[in-house]
Amino acid sequence: MCGIAGGMTKTGFQPQDQTLSKLTAALRHRGPDGEGLHVADKVGLIHTRLAIIDPEHGAQPFVANNSVALVANGEIYNDLDIRRDLVESAFRTGSDNESILHLYLRHGVAFAQHLRGMYAVALYDPRDKSLILARDPFGIKPLYIAEMPDGFWFSSEPQALVTAGVLVPEVNEQARDELLALQFSTGPETAFRGIKRVEPGETLVVRDGRIVDRSRLEPLSKEQFPHSNAVQTFETLWMDSVDAHRRSDVPYGVFLSGGIDSAAVMAAMARLEDRPVIAYTAGFAGGTVHDEREHAAAVANATQADHRAIEISPDVFWSYLPAMASCMDDPVADYAVVPTYMLAKAAAQDVKVVLTGEGGDEVFAGYGRYRASRRPWPFRKRPWSRHVFDRTGVLRQQPSEWRQTLAASESRFEAQSWTRLQKSQALDITHWLPQDLLTKVDRCLMAHGLEGRVPFLDDRLADFGFNLPDRDKIRGRLGKWTPRQWLSQALPQAQPFSRKRGFSVPVGQWIEPQAERLAPLVSRQVGVAACCDPEVVEHMFRTLNPQTAFPAWVLLFYALWHQCHIVGIAHGGSVFDVLAQR
């Protein structure tokens, strides 16, 4: 995986070398194996490389015919097919990303329609002086833009635009209110005023520093996937996807939890590999939440994996949480950040690539809220209907528009001939998946120079899963019915028909002994005080209970994020060290 950034000025001059150098330095953790620069006309492109495919020759930018230049962050799983189709093209490397450039030369801005994979791409075409940006339809790889008076800028991470001086960091209140309500923000807006996301599936054309055209690929088709046997079709598509996602010229492993999705990854890998796969599992010391290490060890043993369990203690939590908030520059107050970051830290000592199970719940309907969406009125429950801070009295003003983007998507989905279940899935695939789960995986892994791959989000498999009849996704109280059936045959030791136990992290249990100490630090932090009543916040921490533990976690995370990214406090030191600074 890699980092990309650059800009197009409105002045007619090339972007300043100092700005491009700062962008490069700010993204070096995403690509510690090399860096590249391309400057032409009034455009600059930078690339920091994590070498996965063709490590020796695949340095970027790629330039074709001394003209069109490309920088890309991603993996193209149909690269070999593209090369066979474009036999007349002069490929110079074995890098899968080079195929994007040749697709553009053949198809123009429609090139993304021919890609299978995860990607964020920037191309400069001097023939019509166009800067073209594109992002994969599921939003697996990130891409951000800032339209400024001096020009148009883009980057894999918002923090790089701030670090390079493209803009001064200020809080976007709309995105902040969504973050506090949902634990993530929706749509193109980010928590930084002036920085927006390129939305999943978008292709932008920029000329003279302004966006002149937009198009978008949807992540899901609206057609039924023809099949006669759901389990057999799942096996064919699943094995093909995992096989494609394991393509690498460097060592790789798997994040193994106690759930269905990562067990399915392990079952497929065990068939495909002729050597033990390294599997990493997180557990929590002395916690009251379900510890997945024992079950994961049984799955690893059944697949002859090299299993490595990572224990996360309260001391680890307090020591590393500022670094986690710092790496999550597009903030996600999801407590799964904690194990993901620590697993990535451990895995980066051994491998450069890990496969994970993200997307399985959304594509094959694993969440309990999907079952709730199928209930008859008035027992049906609307997804994402409750504000995290409902009835806490913490916020100075209860925001009224925090669910506006979700509601707009729900209205749009009503026009589709989807079932209620599919509409609930589509809402998560549009918002929760890219803005929470995939952002968490990208930042936590890339903070350690580690690439994450998500085989459940292969376009063919996802189309199949989303368009399965409801009965092949949910039976009684069990979701992901078709993957469970397959796993019962492929790896029965995974116990796929056992009741799903929701994944949890004992953040409330860790916060409670320190709540008295945290109360003044969080309540008086400038970002928290701007939107919350400090006295109420302090009281909530001092009288912490199971109902207020999660709101306390969200405020703690937001306070650290604001310290790191808005105030500009270095994340070195413990939570208490960082919050104590002014």
Residues 394-425 pLDDT 10s: 999 888 889 999 999 999 999 999 999 999 99
Amino acid at 499: R
Mean pLDDT score across all residues of the chain: 94
For residue 356, is it left (φ>0), alpha (ψ between -120 and 50) or beta? beta
The percentage of residues in the chain with a pLDDT greater than 70, rounded to a whole number, is 97
Dihedral pair phi/psi, residue 532, rounded to 5°: -130, 155
Residues 456-476 pLDDT 10s: 999 999 999 999 999 999 999
> What does 378-410 look like in DSSP terms, one character per residue?
TS---TT-S-TTTTT--BSS--S-TTHHHHHHH
Res 228: pLDDT = 78
Res 431: pLDDT = 97
CA distances from 375 to 299, 389, 468, 501 (A): 34, 26, 19, 21
Residues 197-253 pLDDT 10s: 999 999 999 999 999 999 999 998 766 666 779 999 999 999 999 999 998 888 899
Res 319: pLDDT = 97
SS3 assignment, position 551: helix
CA distances from 410 to 421, 466, 479 (A): 12, 17, 22
For residue 255, is it left (φ>0), alpha (ψ between -120 and 50) or beta? beta
Please list, in sequence order, all residues whose beta carbon lies within 8 angstroms of the beta carbon of residue 255, skipping any fewer than 6 positions away.
Answer: 262, 279, 280, 281, 340, 343, 347, 354, 355, 356, 357
pLDDT score of 285 more than 80: no
In three-state form (DSSP H/G/I as H, E/B as E, the rest C), the secondary structure along 190-242 is CCECCCEECCCCEEEEEECCEEEEEEECCCCCCCCCCCCCHHHHHHHHHHHHH
**Domains, the chain, ranges and CATH?**
2-216 (3.60.20.10), 230-283+292-302+333-377+404-494 (3.40.50.620)
Res 400: pLDDT = 83
Dihedral angle, C-alpha 157, 159, 160, 164, nearest 10 °: 160
Provide the token pair at 511: 């916060």
**Residue 501: pLDDT band with limits 50, 70, 90:** low
Res 224: pLDDT = 60
Res 514: pLDDT = 97
> Rounded to an integer, what distance in angstroms lies between the CA atom of residue 79 and that of residue 117?
9
pLDDT score of 292 more than 90: no
pLDDT score of 503 more than 70: no
> What does 298-348 look like in DSSP terms, one character per residue?
HHHHHTT-EEEEEEE-HHHHHHHHHHHHHH-SS----TTHHHHHHHHHHHT
Dihedral pair phi/psi, residue 157, rounded to 5°: -140, 140
Provide the token pair at 468: 């399965």
Across 128-142, 289-303, 367-381, the highest mean pLDDT is recorded for 128-142
Mean pLDDT of 317-325: 97
Mean pLDDT of 330-343: 97
**Residue 435: pLDDT band with limits 50, 70, 90:** very high
Dihedral pair phi/psi, residue 149, rounded to 5°: -60, -30
Res 357: pLDDT = 97
CA distances from 349 to 251, 280, 342, 443 (A): 11, 12, 12, 17
**Residue 572: Cβ within 10 Å count:** 10
- Describe the crossing of helices 481-490 and 230-245 by its angle, rounded to 10 degrees: 80
What length is written for the chain?
A: 582
> Rounded to an integer, what distance in angstroms lies between the CA atom of residue 176 and that of residue 342?
26
More confident call, 501 vs 37: 37
Segment 480-485 long-range contacts (CB within 8 Å, at least 24 positions apart): 480/260, 480/261, 480/360, 480/361, 480/364, 480/365, 480/366, 481/364, 482/230, 482/231, 482/234, 482/364, 483/234, 483/238, 483/260, 483/261, 483/264, 483/360, 483/364, 484/260, 485/230, 485/231
Mean pLDDT of 491-507: 83
Res 250: pLDDT = 84
**Residue 90: pLDDT band with limits 50, 70, 90:** confident
- The closest alpha carbon to 9, from 120, 146, 128, belongs to 146
Mean pLDDT of 82-97: 89
Rg (CA), the chain: 23
Residues 182-212 pLDDT 10s: 999 999 999 999 999 999 999 999 999 999 9
Residues 41-66 pLDDT 10s: 999 999 999 888 778 888 999 999 88
> Rounded to an integer, what distance in angstroms lies between the CA atom of residue 216 and that of residue 233?
28
Res 198: pLDDT = 98
Amino acid at 74: G
Distance between start and end Cα atoms, the chain: 36
**Residue 530: Cβ within 10 Å count:** 13
pLDDT score of 287 more than 80: no
Mean pLDDT of 377-390: 84
**Residue 290: pLDDT band with limits 50, 70, 90:** confident
What does pTM read for this prediction? 0.96
Res 499: pLDDT = 72
**Residue 62: Cβ within 10 Å count:** 25
Segment 396-404 long-range contacts (CB within 8 Å, at least 24 positions apart): 396/531, 396/532, 396/533, 397/531, 399/177, 399/180, 399/181, 401/174, 401/177, 402/177, 402/178, 402/180, 402/181, 402/182, 403/181
Res 258: pLDDT = 85
- Return the minimum-mean-pLDDT range out of 101-115, 196-210, 245-259, 422-436: 245-259
Residues 140-160 pLDDT 10s: 999 999 999 999 999 999 999
- Return the minimum-mean-pLDDT range out of 167-181, 197-211, 237-251, 279-293: 279-293
